[in-house]
């Protein structure tokens, strides 16, 4: 498991077990049945502040042997001068319905999380040293229900992230900071920005915040986060977000969930515009041809490695705030229903995101 570069996602596991025909009939109800825990939520004590002083509490840390965030495809190498410090929050890797929160020592969840770091956090290893904490993440099923236990699980997970972030600030020293996450990780990053960055001196040290794979509202989220939306490709001290769909796209599940949710200011998101940063241009609401793509990660047939292939995938933001990538590229069998390329939000634009981080750090240095 740990040697494989890519990862299975919970929906796809359900499809394999139950069959595509069953999914077509019962859809999300089938996924909920398979993935939402039936056990009661168990309130656990917070991790002590000193816990994240230990190397074993981090999936990636500059002094950690075998750091998965240092992986690069052929033709790329990690930067030797790590000017920035990167705090990366990995997406959901715990798919078990036995608990609402992952145990920190769950071997399968940790192995999957390391794969996420290779595919995602690795884009930042040219410009910074990467810290990525273990945390008692909410299980995948917590995102499929409105039960109170789901919010309790997310609150527990965020508590670990916040404690890890405080330790990261001590360990990173006074370097410029890049914040990044994906999916559940981006959700926790939203709250982290609101509670730990907005209105505080720390905001002046943020190069950029990458809130990828989670919807962000321009009107009910951004004003509370302490950073503006990135409007130009060489802007520093700003935030980016996108959600990738091939065409024809069916984003109904995402759009319905967005409309039913509240922003970080507590107001409804329904009817508010979503941020869509085009990673090929580094600007919002833009379109770019495949020729602008510096490199997409394509997996090897045995899934043990991946290679960079440029000029394969275009991108354009549509009126709904979604990032559309045209004809579905053959990245593997992990595309979610509706042509949702959520799993590949970073991989589709790996080289461009790498260049984006370097460009924004250079702009930060000039300030």
| pLDDT for 207 beyond 80 | yes
364: confidence class by pLDDT, cuts 50, 70, 90 = very high
Prediction pTM value: 0.92
Q: What was the pLDDT predicted at 2?
A: 31
Helix, strand, or coil (residue 104): coil
CA dist 360 and 128 (Å) reads 12
User: Across residues 137-146, what is the average pLDDT?
Assistant: 88
Helices 10-18, 28-35: inter-axial angle, 10-degree rounding: 100
The predicted-structure confidence for 43-86, as pLDDT tens digits, reads as follows 999 999 999 999 999 999 999 999 999 999 999 999 987 899 99
235: closest CA among 204, 202, 207?
207
The predicted-structure confidence for 252-261, as pLDDT tens digits, reads as follows 988 998 999 9
**C-alpha distance from residue 183 to each of 176, 246, 356 (Å):** 24, 18, 20
DSSP string, 22-58: HHHHHTHHHHHHHHS--SPP---PPPPGGGGGSGGGE
Residue of higher predicted confidence among 152 and 39: 152
* Mean of pLDDT over the chain: 90
Q: What was the pLDDT predicted at 38?
A: 83
Q: What was the pLDDT predicted at 150?
A: 92
pLDDT > 70: percent of the chain: 90
| pLDDT for 297 beyond 60 | yes
CB-CB contact of 263 with 221 (8 Å): yes
Whole-angstrom Cα Rg for the chain? 19
355: confidence class by pLDDT, cuts 50, 70, 90 = very high
CB proximity list for 244: less than 8 A, separation 6 or greater: 315, 323, 325, 340, 341, 342, 344, 345, 348
CB proximity list for 13: less than 8 A, separation 6 or greater: 95
| pLDDT for 29 beyond 80 | no
Cβ neighbours around 32 below 10 Å, total: 14
Residue of higher predicted confidence among 317 and 17: 317
| pLDDT for 335 beyond 90 | no
**C-alpha distance from residue 137 to each of 95, 104, 167, 211, 279 (Å):** 10, 9, 18, 17, 27
CA dist 137 and 363 (Å) reads 34
The predicted-structure confidence for 93-108, as pLDDT tens digits, reads as follows 998 889 999 999 999 9
CA dist 104 and 135 (Å) reads 6
Domain ranges of the chain: 10-366
pLDDT > 90: percent of the chain: 77
CB proximity list for 15: less than 8 A, separation 6 or greater: 23
The label of the residue with tokens 């997406």 reads 91
38: closest CA among 114, 100, 84?
100
Residue of higher predicted confidence among 305 and 273: 273
């Amino acid at each position: 498991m740990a040697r494989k570069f890519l990862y299975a996602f919970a929906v796809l596991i359900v499809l394999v077990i139950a069959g595509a025909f069953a999914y077509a009939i019962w859809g999300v109800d089938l996924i909920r049945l398979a993935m939402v825990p039936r056990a009661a939520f168990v309130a656990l004590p917070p991790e002590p502040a000193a816990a994240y002083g230990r190397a074993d509490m981090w999936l990636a840390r500059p002094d950690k042997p075998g750091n998965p965030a240092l992986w690069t495809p052929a033709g790329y190498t990690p930067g030797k001068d790590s000017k920035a410090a990167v705090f990366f929050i990995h997406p959901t890797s715990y798919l078990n319905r036995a608990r609402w929160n992952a145990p920190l020592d769950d071997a399968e969840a940790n192995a999957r999380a390391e794969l996420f770091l290779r595919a995602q956090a690795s884009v930042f290893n040219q410009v910074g040293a990467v810290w990525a904490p273990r945390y008692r993440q909410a299980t995948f099923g917590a995102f499929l229900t409105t039960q109170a236990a789901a919010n309790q699980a997310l609150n527990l997970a965020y508590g670990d992230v916040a404690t890890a972030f405080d330790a990261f600030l001590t360990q990173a020293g006074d370097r410029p900071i890049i914040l990044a996450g994906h999916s559940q990780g981006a959700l926790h990053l939203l709250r982290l920005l609101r509670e730990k960055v907005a209105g505080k001196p720390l905001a002046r040290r943020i190069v950029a915040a990458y809130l990828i794979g989670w919807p962000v509202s321009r009107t009910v989220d951004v004003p509370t986060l302490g950073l503006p939306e990135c409007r130009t490709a060489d802007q520093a001290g700003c935030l980016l977000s996108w959600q990738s769909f091939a065409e024809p796209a069916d984003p109904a599940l995402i759009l319905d969930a967005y409309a039913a949710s509240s922003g970080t200011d507590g107001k409804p998101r329904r009817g508010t515009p979503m941020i869509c940063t085009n990673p090929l241009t580094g600007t919002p609401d833009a379109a770019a041809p495949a020729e602008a793509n510096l490199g997409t990660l394509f997996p090897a047939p045995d899934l043990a490695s991946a290679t960079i292939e440029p000029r394969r995938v275009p991108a354009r933001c549509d009126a709904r705030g979604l990032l559309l990538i045209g004809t579905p590229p053959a990245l593997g069998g992990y595309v979610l229903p509706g042509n949702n390329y959520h799993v590949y939000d970073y991989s589709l634009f790996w080289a461009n995101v790498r260049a984006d981080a370097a460009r924004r750090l250079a702009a930060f240095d000039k300030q």
